[in-house]
Amino acid sequence: MHDQPKYIPLRESAFFGDARSARPVVPGTVARGQLHEDALLYTGKANGADATVFPFRVDAPVLARGRERFDIYCAPCHGRTGQGDGMIVRRGYRRPPSFHQDRLRDVAAGHFFDVITNGFGAMPDYAAQITAEDRWAIVAYVRALQLSEHATLADVPAAERGKIQ
Protein backbone atom coordinates (compact mmCIF):
# COMPACT_ATOMS: atom_id res chain seq x y z
CA MET A 1 0.00 0.00 0.00
CA HIS A 2 2.98 2.28 0.42
CA ASP A 3 3.62 2.54 -3.33
CA GLN A 4 0.23 3.25 -4.88
CA PRO A 5 -0.21 4.60 -8.40
CA LYS A 6 -1.67 8.06 -7.93
CA TYR A 7 -1.45 11.59 -9.23
CA ILE A 8 -0.34 14.39 -6.96
CA PRO A 9 -2.43 17.51 -7.63
CA LEU A 10 -0.93 19.97 -10.10
CA ARG A 11 1.92 17.64 -11.07
CA GLU A 12 2.62 16.56 -14.62
CA SER A 13 0.81 13.50 -15.95
CA ALA A 14 1.60 11.30 -18.92
CA PHE A 15 -1.92 9.84 -18.91
CA PHE A 16 -3.81 12.91 -20.19
CA GLY A 17 -3.02 14.68 -23.44
CA ASP A 18 -2.67 18.09 -21.79
CA ALA A 19 -0.10 16.65 -19.32
CA ARG A 20 -2.09 17.84 -16.29
CA SER A 21 -3.02 15.48 -13.47
CA ALA A 22 -5.77 17.77 -12.18
CA ARG A 23 -8.71 17.95 -14.54
CA PRO A 24 -10.15 21.35 -15.44
CA VAL A 25 -13.52 22.30 -14.00
CA VAL A 26 -16.43 21.67 -16.33
CA PRO A 27 -17.71 25.02 -17.69
CA GLY A 28 -20.78 26.25 -15.82
CA THR A 29 -19.96 24.27 -12.67
CA VAL A 30 -21.04 25.91 -9.43
CA ALA A 31 -19.58 24.79 -6.13
CA ARG A 32 -22.02 23.42 -3.59
CA GLY A 33 -23.59 26.27 -1.62
CA GLN A 34 -22.28 28.93 -4.02
CA LEU A 35 -25.26 29.35 -6.38
CA HIS A 36 -26.25 32.93 -5.67
CA GLU A 37 -29.09 33.49 -8.12
CA ASP A 38 -30.94 36.06 -6.00
CA ALA A 39 -28.95 39.23 -6.72
CA LEU A 40 -30.84 41.30 -4.14
CA LEU A 41 -30.16 38.78 -1.36
CA TYR A 42 -26.46 38.32 -2.11
CA THR A 43 -25.39 41.76 -3.37
CA GLY A 44 -27.78 44.25 -1.78
CA LYS A 45 -28.30 45.79 -5.19
CA ALA A 46 -31.42 46.24 -7.33
CA ASN A 47 -30.86 47.36 -10.93
CA GLY A 48 -27.26 48.23 -10.08
CA ALA A 49 -28.12 50.58 -7.20
CA ASP A 50 -28.29 50.03 -3.45
CA ALA A 51 -31.56 48.28 -2.69
CA THR A 52 -34.27 50.15 -0.82
CA VAL A 53 -36.21 46.97 -0.02
CA PHE A 54 -35.37 43.80 1.88
CA PRO A 55 -35.19 40.44 0.08
CA PHE A 56 -37.56 38.87 2.64
CA ARG A 57 -40.23 39.88 5.12
CA VAL A 58 -38.87 41.57 8.24
CA ASP A 59 -40.67 40.28 11.33
CA ALA A 60 -39.93 39.77 15.04
CA PRO A 61 -37.73 36.65 14.57
CA VAL A 62 -35.66 38.43 11.91
CA LEU A 63 -35.17 41.43 14.20
CA ALA A 64 -34.24 39.14 17.10
CA ARG A 65 -31.65 37.41 14.93
CA GLY A 66 -30.40 40.78 13.71
CA ARG A 67 -29.99 41.99 17.28
CA GLU A 68 -28.11 38.83 18.23
CA ARG A 69 -25.72 39.15 15.28
CA PHE A 70 -25.38 42.93 15.81
CA ASP A 71 -24.40 42.41 19.43
CA ILE A 72 -21.74 39.90 18.38
CA TYR A 73 -20.21 41.55 15.31
CA CYS A 74 -21.17 45.23 15.38
CA ALA A 75 -21.57 46.37 18.99
CA PRO A 76 -17.84 46.18 19.85
CA CYS A 77 -17.30 49.21 17.59
CA HIS A 78 -20.75 50.72 17.02
CA GLY A 79 -22.06 50.24 20.58
CA ARG A 80 -25.32 48.57 21.56
CA THR A 81 -27.36 51.60 20.50
CA GLY A 82 -25.48 52.40 17.28
CA GLN A 83 -23.96 55.64 18.59
CA GLY A 84 -20.41 54.58 17.64
CA ASP A 85 -19.28 54.28 21.25
CA GLY A 86 -18.43 50.59 21.47
CA MET A 87 -15.91 49.07 23.84
CA ILE A 88 -12.97 49.08 21.44
CA VAL A 89 -13.57 52.76 20.67
CA ARG A 90 -13.21 53.44 24.39
CA ARG A 91 -9.85 51.65 24.20
CA GLY A 92 -8.44 53.86 21.47
CA TYR A 93 -9.70 52.54 18.15
CA ARG A 94 -11.16 54.84 15.52
CA ARG A 95 -14.76 55.87 16.22
CA PRO A 96 -17.30 54.79 13.57
CA PRO A 97 -20.09 57.18 12.61
CA SER A 98 -23.34 57.09 14.55
CA PHE A 99 -26.19 55.31 12.77
CA HIS A 100 -28.46 58.11 13.97
CA GLN A 101 -27.04 60.95 11.90
CA ASP A 102 -29.23 62.09 9.01
CA ARG A 103 -26.74 60.95 6.36
CA LEU A 104 -27.01 57.31 7.48
CA ARG A 105 -30.73 57.40 8.27
CA ASP A 106 -31.38 58.49 4.68
CA VAL A 107 -29.23 55.89 2.85
CA ALA A 108 -30.77 52.83 1.25
CA ALA A 109 -30.77 49.56 3.21
CA GLY A 110 -28.54 48.07 0.52
CA HIS A 111 -25.79 50.51 1.51
CA PHE A 112 -25.53 48.94 4.97
CA PHE A 113 -25.57 45.47 3.42
CA ASP A 114 -22.76 46.47 1.05
CA VAL A 115 -20.63 47.92 3.86
CA ILE A 116 -21.08 44.81 6.01
CA THR A 117 -20.24 42.62 3.01
CA ASN A 118 -17.28 44.54 1.56
CA GLY A 119 -16.12 46.80 4.37
CA PHE A 120 -15.58 50.55 4.15
CA GLY A 121 -12.80 52.76 5.49
CA ALA A 122 -11.54 51.29 8.77
CA MET A 123 -14.35 48.72 8.86
CA PRO A 124 -13.34 45.25 7.62
CA ASP A 125 -15.56 43.08 5.46
CA TYR A 126 -17.68 40.43 7.17
CA ALA A 127 -18.80 38.40 4.14
CA ALA A 128 -16.88 35.33 5.31
CA GLN A 129 -18.14 35.53 8.90
CA ILE A 130 -21.80 36.51 8.46
CA THR A 131 -24.23 34.83 6.05
CA ALA A 132 -26.17 37.00 3.59
CA GLU A 133 -29.43 36.35 5.48
CA ASP A 134 -27.84 37.42 8.77
CA ARG A 135 -26.35 40.54 7.15
CA TRP A 136 -29.87 41.53 6.08
CA ALA A 137 -31.15 40.78 9.60
CA ILE A 138 -28.48 43.12 10.98
CA VAL A 139 -29.55 45.81 8.52
CA ALA A 140 -33.16 45.40 9.68
CA TYR A 141 -32.03 45.75 13.29
CA VAL A 142 -30.00 48.88 12.45
CA ARG A 143 -33.14 50.35 10.87
CA ALA A 144 -35.05 49.52 14.07
CA LEU A 145 -32.35 51.26 16.13
CA GLN A 146 -32.60 54.30 13.88
CA LEU A 147 -36.37 54.36 14.20
CA SER A 148 -36.25 54.00 17.99
CA GLU A 149 -33.84 56.91 18.33
CA HIS A 150 -36.08 59.30 16.41
CA ALA A 151 -39.52 57.92 17.23
CA THR A 152 -42.37 60.15 18.28
CA LEU A 153 -45.50 59.35 20.27
CA ALA A 154 -47.40 59.29 16.97
CA ASP A 155 -45.27 56.30 15.90
CA VAL A 156 -46.57 54.22 18.80
CA PRO A 157 -49.85 52.36 18.15
CA ALA A 158 -52.76 53.90 20.06
CA ALA A 159 -53.35 50.69 22.02
CA GLU A 160 -49.73 50.72 23.26
CA ARG A 161 -49.47 54.40 24.23
CA GLY A 162 -50.84 53.77 27.71
CA LYS A 163 -47.78 51.62 28.53
CA ILE A 164 -45.40 54.54 28.00
CA GLN A 165 -44.55 56.43 31.18
- Predicted TM-score of the model (pTM): 0.80
Tens of pLDDT along the chain (165 residues) come to: 678 877 888 888 888 888 888 888 899 898 888 888 899 999 999 999 999 999 999 999 999 999 999 999 999 999 999 999 999 998 999 999 999 999 999 999 999 999 999 999 999 999 999 999 999 999 999 999 999 988 888 888 888 888 886
Contact 54, 41 (CB under 8 A): no
Q: What is the pLDDT of residue 151?
A: 84
**Structural domains of the chain sorted by starting position, each given as residue range(s) with its CATH number in brackets:** 52-150 (1.10.760.10)
Identify which of 141, 111, 139 has the alpha carbon closest to the alpha carbon of residue 50: 111
Q: What is the pLDDT of residue 165?
A: 66
Residue 137 and residue 66: Cα distance in Å, rounded? 4
Q: What is the pLDDT of residue 13?
A: 85
According to DSSP, the β-strands at 45-46 and 49-50 are: antiparallel
Task: Give the H/E segment covering residue 49.
Answer: strand 49-50
Contact 158, 77 (CB under 8 A): no
Look at residue 159 and give its three-state secondary structure: helix
Identify which of 107, 116, 121 has the alpha carbon closest to the alpha carbon of residue 134: 116
Q: What is the pLDDT of residue 146?
A: 95
